[in-house]
Structure formats: C-alpha cells, structure tokens
Amino acid sequence: MGTTIVLDEIDRKILDVLQVEGRITNLELAEQIGLSSAPCMRRVRTLEEAGVIRSYVALVDPAKIGLGFDVIVEVRLKQQTRESFERFEKKVTGLPEVVECCMIAGDWDYSLRVVSSDLARYQSFILDRLMQRDTDIASYRTTIILRKVKSTTKIDPSLF
C-alpha cells in the first residue's frame, strides 16, 4: 500500500469531473470547479504526479466489439507459495482475454474477469491457454455474467 494523499474539496471536484470526462480541456474544468485556469492545471499535475490520477483512457464496451461473453473465473492453485503466485500472475498478465485479475482471500486464490466472443471461444481459452500442461492451477470455477447491474470505474467523491 502506498501513501494516502489528503484531498481537499477542490481536489475532489477535479477528480469527480475528470472521472466522467477525461478529455475535458483545462479551461472547461476550471470553469466547472470554480477555479482559474493556472491553479487548476497545477492541481491536476499535482494529482497526476502523486499517482492519484494514474492515466486517461477510453473505456471500450466489449459487447460492441464482439466480446459480449463475460465471465468470472475463480482459481485455486495447487500450492499457496510465493513462487506459485508469481508464476500464475506472470501467466495471466500475458493473456489478453483476462481483463482483471485479483488475488482474493477465502476458498479461492484468484478471481479473474475474462471476456470472449462466445462459449466455444471461452472453452478454448480455458483448455488451450489457462489450463496448459505444467500449470499451477488445481481447480477453477466459472460464473457466467448474465447482466451487469452496475459497472463503473468512477469512485464517488463522498468516499474520499
């Protein structure tokens, strides 16, 4: 865990706006938060340098590009050793179908979010890529996402 950054109300307003519209101009941002342009730019740069703002991205809708088969895969490793964790993490970071990987506590070691075009391609991903020979994986469980009720990248300013 890194150092926690103390944010004031203006920082919160900046983050609230930028999480919705990352391509907004500095002038428009300054107007929306009630600050002049130069101090607004300094604050944004400070938030970037502190790592609060990690990057600016375009969020792609997987279903619109033919990747509407969305699943959660929970994985249990054969051994819970640092070496097994490192091998597994190195492997999944190289799999483009895996869009999220989290080490978790409980009955499973990892939770993966995997996107695919359909069930057949997902099955191929599991058999041909994830469960290759010499794998550290003892077992896995697939949960098919039928409908996303909430999916956001935005962190509400009331939480920070």
User: What integer pLDDT is reported at residue 100 of this predicted model?
Assistant: 97
Is 9-49 a CATH 2.40.70.10 domain? Answer: no
CA 153 to chain centre: 8
Burial class (CB in 10 A: 0-12, 13-18, 19+), 88: buried
User: What integer pLDDT is reported at residue 44 of this predicted model?
Assistant: 98
| Cα-Cα end-to-end distance for the chain | 16
What pTM value is reported for the model?
Answer: 0.85
User: What integer pLDDT is reported at residue 134 of this predicted model?
Assistant: 77
6-37 core/surface letters (b: 16 or more CB in 10 A; e: else): ebeeebbbbbbbbeeeeeeeeeebbeebebee
Domain ranges of the chain: 9-49, 62-144
User: What integer pLDDT is reported at residue 2 of this predicted model?
Assistant: 64
- d(CA 72, CA 144) in angstroms, rounded, equals 6
Q: Which residues of the chain have pLDDT under 50?
A: none
- According to DSSP, the residues that pair with 76 across neighbouring strands are 139
Per the listing, tokens 């502190």 go with 50
Q: Which fold has domain 62-144?
A: Alpha-Beta Plaits (3.30.70)
User: What integer pLDDT is reported at residue 1 of this predicted model?
Assistant: 57
